[in-house]
């Protein structure tokens, strides 16, 4: 059972995100009414290409987190289970299958529901569950599905480029619109700028006291994921960075007297984001996230062709860190750079991909004497969450950290 | 300096009163539906045992256990994890690893020379490996809880119990009883199943001697003996293993007053 939900934010700029998100979903419904093509997408589908081709992208994992943050996920998941999806299936997929196949059995969907899709786009490299989920949706909705792949190899840009061109060909066929490279180039430049600002923000978070913690960033990362390549997004991060700089100049931290610094590794529990603030009661701050931070400044463009350039830069991003050894090194670097005293790792039972790697990351940290706390709760389905149990573990972890000092 | 520790667990509530680092009295009562009421009753009983003290005489009271946040007269709370480490270390200063097997959960704890918490692992979302599991099985077999450990050691055969889930385990045991299998043999299987579960926790946290077992299950010779064999260590057993958490809380209270 959960008695609280959203995280308490430190920055005024973060408070702008709910309105941006609401307006984004309203726009998708409006676009659909106007006859624009709507694509239901998985994460990592290049939004700038869809935007450039006047296709409205709706990212389903994000919508699933919206449902979860409004504490409606359990009802949606239960509906998904009633239509045949096991509790072991990804919570996001279960929720959305419940929404599609049992609309009368789920609560009123946030933001007026999802815009009706014309086709589906899924990436093949994040996890296997997504492929099965999107294939099932394609079958029940009877609409086309395009699977987008990308190389995991450092020299795989050519393959990724072919895949991007295959995506463009699919979109041209679906929309009847010819692809215009100039439409992408402009958005790509904005996306690069935004990415660099985000990198700056994460660098600024190394300050002591930490000016902005994960309680803000789990929300503030949203525009970079779903409005990327837009001026709206770029402007947001410029304001955000300015506010962070101002806090540092004035010595304002998340807590008045910072006693310990933590990292959150993994997907948070969207139905109880106030858990991130919980350690603040004891002078702690979750200063950085393991999976969501921008790791480096973007390289200058290497090719005039925007699709070739996108393949080069996305191959670089995706292949670093690559594999568990790189992930461990990356985590340890972050622990050092952000002066982290301990790491909280979420183990989401229905996200089997991350569950396995979290086990290895936790062991690597403990082997090096870095205290960790593993919390096993689903990212979406709050039926797996016991606030009392989780807070007892958090309390004991804080006691462990404070006993070291 | 008089302090008290109160441990509100899922099965029992315990209170311990210390005066100048000596245990004056303690109490163990069943936790009812009202944790705040249980806390009051446990405290009243421990006070009664002293023959002369009242709540007002307590310099500091620390509450622990799952019900710690609703103890109306507590000055402070500390988790049962830290309290068991502190209490076990006070009883046995050489202790570095503590296994607390309570009614609702099971914790493997590592502590330093002063009983400070170094690391811990707990079972999650499941009653397997806990006192409740054995309580339910004793009920199904119509045996007194305090006898089942001893009986399990008289087995001729250890029947494999596949499910450590309390609900499914109950069905499995009922089925074995219907098949006419010996209760001792079933109990041996149940104890082996619970042992596998808790030994995994111990391995995760790392077993470093000396090793103590606390909580109600430390009274079960069937679990203790099997655990000692598996770990290759002799377990240190408190005279009253159920009060170690409350004792640790009273010790923390004592430290608080000394600061």
| Pairs of residues, one from chain A and one from chain B, whose beta carbons lie less than 8 Å apart | 35
Contact indicator for B81, B249 with CB cutoff of 8 Å: no
ipTM value, please give it. 0.86
Q: Which of A366, A371, A399 sits opposite B79 (nearest CB)?
A: A399
Contact indicator for B44, B26 with CB cutoff of 8 Å: no
Contact indicator for B68, B95 with CB cutoff of 8 Å: no
Checking if the pLDDT of A1 tops 60, the result is: no
Average pLDDT, chain B: 92
Q: What is the DSSP letter of B179?
A: T
Which residues of B touch chain A, with CB atoms under 8 Å apart? 66, 77-82, 116-120, 122, 124-125
CA atoms A330, A332, A333, A339: torsion sign:
positive
Mutate to test the interface with A, among B76, B124, B126 (most CBs of A within 10 A): B124
The pLDDT tens digits for A164-219 are: 999 999 999 999 999 999 999 989 999 999 999 999 999 999 999 999 999 999 99
Tokens matching residue B152: 């399990």
A396 in contact with B, Cβ within 8 Å: yes
| Residues constituting chain A | 405
Whether B1-92+242-259 and B94-237 share one fold: the answer is: yes
**Using only C-alpha atoms, what is the Rg of chain A?**
21
The Cα A64–Cα A43 span in angstroms is: 12
Q: If we measure between CA atoms, which residue out of A286, A282, A283, A296 comes closest to residue A265?
A: A286
The Cα A107–Cα A153 span in angstroms is: 43
Average pLDDT, chain A: 93
Q: Which of A386, A389, A396 sits opposite B117 (nearest CB)?
A: A396
A388 in contact with B, Cβ within 8 Å: yes
The pLDDT tens digits for B70-88 are: 999 999 999 999 999 999 9
Q: Could you state, in order of their start, the residue ranges of all structural domains in chain B?
A: 1-92+242-259, 94-237
The pLDDT tens digits for A9-50 are: 999 999 999 999 999 999 999 999 999 999 999 998 999 999
Residues B234-241 have a mean pLDDT of 96
The Cα B58–Cα B17 span in angstroms is: 8
Nearest CA in chain B to A384: B125
The Cα A279–Cα A277 span in angstroms is: 6
Q: If we measure between CA atoms, which residue out of A70, A77, A91 comes closest to residue A21?
A: A70
**What's the pLDDT score for residue A322?**
66
The pLDDT tens digits for A267-279 are: 999 999 999 999 9
The pLDDT tens digits for A282-306 are: 999 999 998 767 777 888 888 899 9
Distance from CA of A362 to the nearest CA of B (A): 11
Q: What is the DSSP letter of A74?
A: H
Tokens 């606390």, residue located: B214
Checking if the pLDDT of A321 tops 60, the result is: no
Checking if the pLDDT of A222 tops 90, the result is: yes
Q: Give the architecture-level CATH label for domain B94-237.
A: 2-Layer Sandwich (3.30)
Residues A372-384 have a mean pLDDT of 93
Distance from CA of A7 to the nearest CA of B (A): 22
Angle between helices B80-91 and B244-258 (to 10 degrees): 90
Residue A321, preceding peptide bond in cis (omega within 30° of 0): yes
Tokens matching residue A37: 């093509």
| Contacts with A399 from chain B: Cβ below 8 Å | 78-79, 81-82, 117
The Cα B253–Cα B15 span in angstroms is: 13
Q: Which of B66, B119, B124 sits opposite A376 (nearest CB)?
A: B124
Q: Do B118 and A386 touch (CB under 8 A)?
A: no
The third-level CATH classification (topology) of the domain covering A13-179 is Rossmann fold (3.40.50)
Checking if the pLDDT of A265 tops 80, the result is: yes
**What's the pLDDT score for residue A127?**
87
Q: Which residue has the higher pLDDT, B160 or B251?
A: B251
**Using only C-alpha atoms, what is the Rg of chain B?**
19
Q: Give the three-state DSSP class for A263.
A: strand
Number of H helices and E strands in chain A, helices first, is 16, 8
Residues A345-364 have a mean pLDDT of 91
Residues B121-125 have a mean pLDDT of 79
A359 in contact with B, Cβ within 8 Å: no
| Top mean-pLDDT range of A124-133, A144-153, A163-172, A187-196 | A163-172
A366 in contact with B, Cβ within 8 Å: yes
Q: Which of B77, B117, B122 sits opposite A403 (nearest CB)?
A: B117
Q: Do B125 and A384 touch (CB under 8 A)?
A: yes
Distance from CA of B98 to the nearest CA of A (A): 15
The Cα A187–Cα A190 span in angstroms is: 5
Contact indicator for B68, B74 with CB cutoff of 8 Å: yes
pLDDT-derived band at B125, boundaries 50, 70, 90: low
| B101 CB burial (10 A radius; 0-12, 13-18, 19+) | buried
The Cα B15–Cα B244 span in angstroms is: 10
Residues A364-388 have a mean pLDDT of 93
**What's the pLDDT score for residue A80?**
96
**What's the pLDDT score for residue B127?**
66
CATH number of B1-92+242-259: 3.30.420.40
Distance from CA of A283 to the nearest CA of B (A): 16
Q: Do A386 and B79 touch (CB under 8 A)?
A: no
**What's the pLDDT score for residue A386?**
87
Q: Do A393 and B122 touch (CB under 8 A)?
A: yes
Mutate to test the interface with A, among B7, B10, B64, B82 (most CBs of A within 10 A): B82
**What's the pLDDT score for residue A292?**
67
**What's the pLDDT score for residue A218?**
95
Contact indicator for B3, B257 with CB cutoff of 8 Å: yes
**What's the pLDDT score for residue A317?**
66
DSSP string covering B189-219, please? Answer: HHHHHHHHHHHHHHHHH---SSEEEESGGGG
Buried b (16+ CB within 10 A) or exposed e, B207-234: beebbbbbbbbbbbbbbbbbbeebbeee
- N- to C-terminal Cα distance for chain A? 33
The pLDDT tens digits for A39-74 are: 999 998 999 999 999 999 999 999 999 999 999 999
Q: Which residue has the higher pLDDT, A57 or B163?
A: A57
Q: Give the three-state DSSP class for A373.
A: strand
A399 in contact with B, Cβ within 8 Å: yes
Contact residues, A window 151-170, toward B, CB-based 8 Å cutoff: none
pLDDT-derived band at A320, boundaries 50, 70, 90: low
pLDDT-derived band at B171, boundaries 50, 70, 90: confident
The pLDDT tens digits for B11-33 are: 899 999 999 999 999 999 998 88
Q: Do B122 and A371 touch (CB under 8 A)?
A: no
- N- to C-terminal Cα distance for chain B? 12
Residues B206-212 have a mean pLDDT of 93
Element (H, E) at A93: helix A91-101
Contact indicator for B97, B228 with CB cutoff of 8 Å: no
**What's the pLDDT score for residue A290?**
86
Q: Do B120 and A392 touch (CB under 8 A)?
A: no
pLDDT-derived band at A395, boundaries 50, 70, 90: very high
Q: Do A403 and B116 touch (CB under 8 A)?
A: yes
DSSP β-ladder status, B117-122 and B106-111: antiparallel
**Residue A243 CB: number of other CB atoms within 10 A?**
20
Checking if the pLDDT of B163 tops 80, the result is: no
Q: What is the DSSP letter of A280?
A: G
**What's the pLDDT score for residue A181?**
93
| A372 CB burial (10 A radius; 0-12, 13-18, 19+) | buried
Q: Do A392 and B117 touch (CB under 8 A)?
A: no
A376 in contact with B, Cβ within 8 Å: yes
Residue A209, preceding peptide bond in cis (omega within 30° of 0): yes
């Amino acid at each position: 059972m959960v008695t609280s939900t959203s995280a308490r934010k430190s920055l005024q700029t973060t408070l702008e995100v709910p309105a941006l998100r609401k307006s984004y979903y309203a726009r998708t419904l409006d676009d659909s009414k106007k006859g624009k093509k709507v694509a239901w997408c998985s994460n990592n589908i290049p939004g700038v290409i869809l935007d450039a081709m006047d296709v409205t992208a709706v990212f389903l994992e994000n919508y699933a987190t919206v449902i979860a943050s409004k504490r409606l996920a359990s009802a949606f998941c239960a509906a998904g289970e009633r239509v045949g999806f096991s509790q072991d299936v990804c919570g996001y997929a279960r929720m959305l299958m419940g929404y599609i196949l049992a609309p009368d059995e789920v609560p009123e969907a946030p933001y007026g529901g999802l815009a009706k899709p014309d086709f589906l786009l899924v990436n093949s490299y994040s996890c296997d569950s997504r492929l099965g989920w999107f294939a099932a949706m394609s079958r029940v909705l009877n609409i086309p599905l395009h699977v987008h792949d990308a190389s995991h190899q450092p020299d795989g840009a050519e393959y990724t480029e072919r895949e991007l061109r295959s995506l463009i060909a699919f979109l041209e066929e679906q929309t009847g619109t010819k692809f215009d490279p100039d439409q992408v180039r402009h958005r790509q430049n904005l996306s690069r700028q935004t990415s660099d600002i985000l990198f700056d923000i994460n660098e600024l978070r190394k300050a002591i006291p930490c000016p902005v913690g994960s309680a803000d960033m789990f929300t503030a990362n949203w525009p970079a994921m779903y409005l990327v390549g837009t001026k709206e997004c770029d402007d947001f991060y410029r304001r955000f960075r300015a506010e962070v700089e101002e806090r540092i100049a004035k010595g304002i931290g998340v807590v008045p007297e910072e006693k310990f610094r933590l990292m959150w590794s993994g997907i948070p529990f969207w139905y109880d984001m106030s858990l991130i603030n919980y350690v603040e009661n004891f002078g702690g701050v979750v200063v950085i996230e393991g999976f969501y931070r921008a790791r480096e400044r973007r390289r200058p463009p290497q090719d005039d062709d925007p699709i070739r350039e996108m393949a080069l830069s996305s191959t670089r991003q995706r292949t670093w860190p690559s594999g568990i050894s790189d992930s461990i090194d990356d985590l340890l670097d972050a622990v050092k750079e952000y002066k982290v005293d301990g790491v909280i790792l979420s183990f989401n039972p229905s996200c089997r991909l991350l569950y396995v790697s979290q086990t290895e990351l936790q062991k690597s940290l403990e082997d090096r004497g870095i205290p960790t706390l593993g919390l096993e709760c689903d990212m979406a389905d709050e039926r797996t969450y016991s606030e009392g149990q989780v807070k007892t573990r958090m309390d004991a972890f804080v006691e462990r950290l404070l006993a070291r000092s | 300096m008089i302090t008290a520790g109160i441990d509100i667990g899922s099965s029992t509530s315990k209170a311990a009163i210390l005066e100048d680092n000596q245990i004056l009295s303690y109490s163990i009562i069943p936790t009812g539906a009202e944790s705040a009421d249980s806390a009051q009753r446990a405290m009243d009983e421990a006070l009664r045992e002293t023959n002369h003290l009242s709540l007002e005489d307590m310099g500091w009271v620390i509450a622990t256990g799952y019900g710690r946040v609703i103890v109306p007269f507590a000055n402070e709370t500390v988790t049962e994890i830290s309290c068991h480490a502190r209490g076990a270390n006070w009883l046995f200063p050489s202790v570095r690893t503590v296994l607390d097997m309570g009614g609702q959960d099971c914790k493997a704890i590592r502590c330093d020379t002063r009983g400070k918490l170094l690391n811990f692992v707990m079972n999650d979302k499941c009653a397997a490996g806990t006192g409740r599991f054995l309580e339910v099985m004793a009920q199904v077999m119509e045996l007194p809880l305090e006898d089942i450990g001893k009986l399990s050691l008289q087995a001729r055969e250890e029947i494999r119990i596949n499910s450590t889930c309390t609900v499914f385990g109950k069905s499995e045991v009922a089925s074995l009883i219907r098949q006419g299998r010996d209760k001792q043999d079933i109990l041996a299987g149940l104890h082996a199943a619970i042992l596998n579960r808790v030994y995994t926790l111990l391995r995760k946290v790392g077993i470093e001697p000396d090793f103590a077992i606390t909580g109600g299950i430390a009274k079960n010779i069937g679990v203790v003996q099997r655990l000692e064999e598996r770990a290759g260590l002799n377990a240190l057993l408190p005279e009253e293993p159920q009060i170690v958490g409350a004792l640790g809380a009273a010790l923390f209270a004592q430290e608080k007053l000394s600061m």
